[in-house]
Amino acid sequence: MALAEAGARGRLLRWPRVLLFGDSITEYSFQENGWGTYLAERLVRKCDVVNRGISGYNTRWAKLILPRLITESTSADSIVAVTIFFGANDSALKELNPKQHIPLEEYAANLKSMVQYLKSVDITADRIILITPPPLQESAWEKACLAKGDKLNRCNATTGQYAQACVQVARECGTDVLDLWTLMQKNEDFSSYLSDGLHLSTKGNSFLAAQLWSCLENKLSALPSLLPYWRDVDHTNPEASLL
Convert the pLDDT of each residue in 144-171 to its tens digit: 889 988 898 999 999 999 999 999 999 9
pTM for the full predicted model: 0.92
Closest of 95, 91, 28, 24 to residue 60, by C-alpha = 91
Kindly tell me if the per-residue pLDDT of 224 is higher than 90. Answer: no
Given pLDDT bands bounded at 50, 70 and 90, which one contains residue 9? Answer: low
Secondary structure in 3-state letters for 172-241: HHCCEEECHHHHHCCCCCHHHHECCCCCECHHHHHHHHHHHHHHHHHHHCCCCCCCCCHHHCCCCCHHHH
Q: What is the mean pLDDT of residues 221-225?
A: 84
**What residues act catalytically?**
24, 196, 199
Kind plus residue range of the DSSP H or E element containing 49: strand 48-53
pLDDT of residue 7: 55
Q: What is the mean pLDDT of residues 66-87?
A: 89
Domains and CATH numbers, the chain: 17-219 (3.40.50.1110)
Kindly tell me if the per-residue pLDDT of 76 is higher than 90. Answer: no
110 vs 88: CA distance, rounded Å: 14
48 vs 40: CA distance, rounded Å: 7
For 5, list phi and psi in degrees, rounded to 5.
-70, -40
